[in-house]
Structure 1
Amino acid sequence: MVWYKDIKGIHLHVNDAFCTAVSKRKKDVEGKDHYYIWGIPREVYEASDYVCVETEEDVINARKTCLYDEEVMSAQGLRKLKTYKTPIFDEDSQDIIGTVGIARDVTQEKEYRSTIQRLTREDQLTSLLNREYFYDVLKQNDRQAYTLLSFDVEGFHGFNERYGHPLGDAVLQIVAEELRLAFTTNHVARLGGDEFAVFLPDALSDEAAEASVRAFQEQLAFMLSMDDRMKHLRVNAGIVHAVPGMTPERVIRDGGRALDRAKEVGGGACCSSGESVMA
């Protein structure tokens, strides 16, 4: 898309790609302002996140070419643009008499990039973080103290064999959703199989961590109780208090050990690394 505006923001010339984007004929575009061309009332524009007009003013004030990421509402819906805008100077006075814009529609490109990024980070079944990306989260935070919660579904293997994988997958999805709701963090992961983990950026006490685990377990038990086949399932938990300098491997290993101790008791037990089992 290419366009030329005068200093008042009136489009003097546009190319065919611009006309396609706004779904208007060239004769209906040239001589009109931004609001008319894009079909956005001024009051709607001013209450929105659109920045096209503001960036025109920035370019004029900067007196040089600028690059922007912009959003416009086109005939094809909301489009994301990578836009170059440059001032046009009067040859004699060097006053700015208008601007030229060149834009490339990167909507699909950004959507593809977002999808690829999501797929490399997420577990496909639950949409939680996957094991690899969760390790990266722990590594990025290894200079601070934090709390790691580990979970597994007791008796899940036998449940899968008895009722089949579709129902087993439903259980994992319910656990994932309740973890998302219970913990106000974006860092909830499925480590594999029926194992889950939660990264909490605060160094919680055993009491605070256990209280959050118990609240989750109770709500999950309530949700599972709605299906007679699921109502006997329980989730055991392990708590690790990571200190600065602990590697992700060490934290995950300690979490696994705490979880193993909880599994020895079973029935929805909770164990903190270095502490006794809390059944």
Structure 2
Amino acid sequence: MYYYKLQVLVLTADTALTDTVKKLEPLAGFEYEVLCRQNFDVAVKTADVVICDLLNAETLEALHRCKPGAAVVLSADAKFLEQLAPEDYNVLADIWVKPYLGNFIRFKLRRLFENIKNVRDCHLAENYLNTTINSIPSLIWFKDIRGAHLKVNDSFCRAVGKTKDDVEGRGHYYIWDMKKEEYEQGEYICLESEEIVLQEKKTCIFDEKVKTKHGMRQFKTYKSPIFDDNEQLIGTVGIAHDVTDLENMGAELEVILRNLPFAVLLTNEAGKIINANDICSQYFTEGKEAMIGQEYQQWKQQNLADMSEINAKGYADAKVLVGRREKNLEIYEKPIFDVFGTAVGMLCMCRDVTVERQLEKKIIYSANTDQLTDLYNRRYFYEYMTRNKIMSKHVNLFYIDLDNFKKINDEYGHQAGDTVLVMVAKLLKQTFGAEFIVRVGGDEFLAVVLGSKTDAELAILAERFLSSLQQTIADNAKFSVLSASIGIAVSNALTDVDLLIRQSDSALYEAKRNGKKQYKIYHK
């Protein structure tokens, strides 16, 4: 991972010492540049390692001029060493006492360079650690067994509003500007969680509230024990993720769900219900709590009756029994995606539309139906004929018009006329059954009969109605002038609605011209 080039300065007149240094195999990650000098020149100030075998009046002064941090080795006999003062020892990394053998030099050099490598490795490891923890937005700290903070990252310092120099070595109450009494009276569990980790001797996860410089914050905290080489506990390490915003979002979501006027439930990516609001308990007998954890699709099958297919906009209709009352629900499903566009769940909303559906039926009924006779009206007739390609089928159209209806209105009033219209509507329903029957307006009616029919079959239907009408008015003298004429037209592949009406109207005109109280079938 690293590569160092060490400049080694050998101050000696002994070529054997220089040769021994040059022949030494460099350690991994190192390269040695060996310089040999017989006097104290400027190289003393730049060398990483200085091995001094020159013993004269200038030696000690020169060794104090070495580069700060350089590994300085003094090779001397006991007599010269007697001249060393205490401050001289401070600049020395090692002392080789003469006389010694060549193997001694190689052994000492190996240990010297291994020590340099260990220092470099430790420095690199510390850089790794500092760079890593300071790059993480979470709070990180290391504590000793007494609870003193040995190391913290930048995020920790920002949270407490103190520098690392001020934090390291201090305890919990000082760092967080908190009195012991305040801690004991609050909801804090920071210190108690430390004890749990030391007792459990494993990583533990906690939800902790902390009073920071930025106000109260909620943390998801991971704490682990630290052991020495003998597996003895020496402290803990903690990592705290600030989840305050997530907690706030969760609380806001709960408030929103709780106050929505319809049932809402959420699923996860596995299709299981993970949340629901209180209104679900109003719609579904099992209640909100029992819903959570169920498979969503299975829950729908068990709780939503007659559910239609989800349309392109995500809506469907379903029914649910609440007590003894059946309610109509509008179901809305919407997949939930994460920031990468991956589906991570489903949102389902169930809205009570019972009253709306009833009003819709009433509105549709009023828009499509004649209020007096309860028959379909002329507007809906055209909608019906163009829907589902009715004209592409065999269509038989009966155009019924009452004879002398105006005389009844003029002589007995419009209330009597209304009675006649209601009576005729009832007879038409009895005659044509479930077929499509229309009050066109005034005393004119249409009856649509689908399917291929012979003239004889059409005649039977027309005669049945005319006969029932005569039998009904025979019991009421004031209606004796009333009769009906019928025109019948049959569609073919080229017939449109308006043409079919004109053909039936033409047949009706012929029936009236021939004396009324009869039917005619249109033929070209």
- TM-score, length basis structure 1: 0.70
Matched-pair contact (CA < 8 Å) for 2:303–2:320: no
* Cα distance in 1 between the residues matched to 2:315 and 2:508: 52
1-structure distance, mates of 2:427, 2:395: 21
Aligned match of 2:329: 81
Of 377, 380, 390, which aligns to 1:133?
380
Q: Aligned partners of 1:255 and 1:104: how far apart in 2?
A: 48
What does 1:107-122 correspond to in 2, within 5 Å? 107-122=354-369
Partners of 1:195 and 1:30 in 2: CA distance: 58
Aligned 1:47-196 pairs, distance under 5 A: 52-53=301-302, 68-75=316-323, 77-84=325-332, 102-139=349-386, 140-196=389-445
Identity of aligned residues (%): 25
Matched, 1:217 2:466: yes
Q: What's 2:48 paired with? A: none
Equivalent residue letter for 1:167: A
- In structure 2, relative to structure 1, the CA distance for the partners of 1:16 and 1:254 (3 Å cut) is same
CA RMSD of aligned residues (A): 3.6
Judge conservation of contact 2:281–2:288 (CA < 8 Å) in 1: no
Residue 478 of structure 2 is aligned to residue 233 of structure 1? no
When residues 78 and 253 of structure 1 are mapped into structure 2, their CA distance, relative to the original with a 3 A threshold, is: same
Counterpart in the other structure of 2:499: 250
Say if 1:21 and 1:76, in contact at 8 Å, map to a contact too: no
**Pair 21,144 (structure 1): closer, same or farther in 2 beyond 3 Å:** closer
Question: Larger relative CO (CA 8 A, sep 6+): 1 or 2?
Answer: 1
Amino acid at match of 1:15: N
Higher Rg = 2
Q: SS at 1:126's partner residue?
A: coil
Change (3 A) 1:67 1:147: closer
Q: Aligned with 1:152: secondary structure?
A: strand
Unmatched segments (≥5 aa) in structure 2: 1-262, 268-272, 292-299, 308-313, 336-345
**Aligned partners of 1:203 and 1:82: how far apart in 2?**
41
Residue 243 of structure 1: SS of its match in structure 2?
A: coil
| Paired AA for residue 518 in structure 2 | A
Which consecutive unaligned segments of at least 5 residues does structure 1 have? 6-10, 34-50, 59-65, 88-98
Q: Is the 8 A contact 1:122 1:128 kept in 2?
A: yes
Q: CA deviation at 1:100?
A: 7.8
- Structure 1 residues 7-62: Cα deviation after superposition (integer angstroms, max 9, x where no partner): xxxx997634344557x9xxx946668xxxxxxxxxxxxxxxxx750669x9xxxx
8 Å Cα contact 2:404-2:481 kept in structure 1: no
Q: Distance in 2 between matches of 1:155 and 1:162?
A: 11
Moved over 6 A (4+): none
- Change over 3 Å in CA distance of 1:227–1:15 after alignment to 2: farther
| 1:61-96 CA distance string (max 9 Å, x none) | xxxxx8642211225822101235799xxxxxxxxx
State the distance in 1 between where 2:391 and 2:316 align: 35
Is this contact kept in 2: 1:159–1:168, CA < 8 A?
A: yes
What TM-score, normalized by structure 2, do the two folds share? 0.40
Kept in 2: contact 1:255–1:273 (CA 8 A): yes
Change (3 A) 1:159 1:20: same
| Shift, 1:157, TM fit | 0.9
CA deviation after TM superposition for structure 1 residue 226, in Å: 3.2
* Local SS of the residue matching 1:147: strand
CA distance in structure 1 between the partners assigned to 2:281 and 2:390 by the alignment: 49
Give the Cα–Cα distance (whole angstroms) in 2 for the partners of residues 30 and 203 of structure 1. 57
Are 1:262 and 2:524 counterparts?
A: no
Q: 1:217 to 1:75 in 2, by over 3 A?
A: same
Q: In structure 1, what residue type is equivalent to 2:349?
A: I
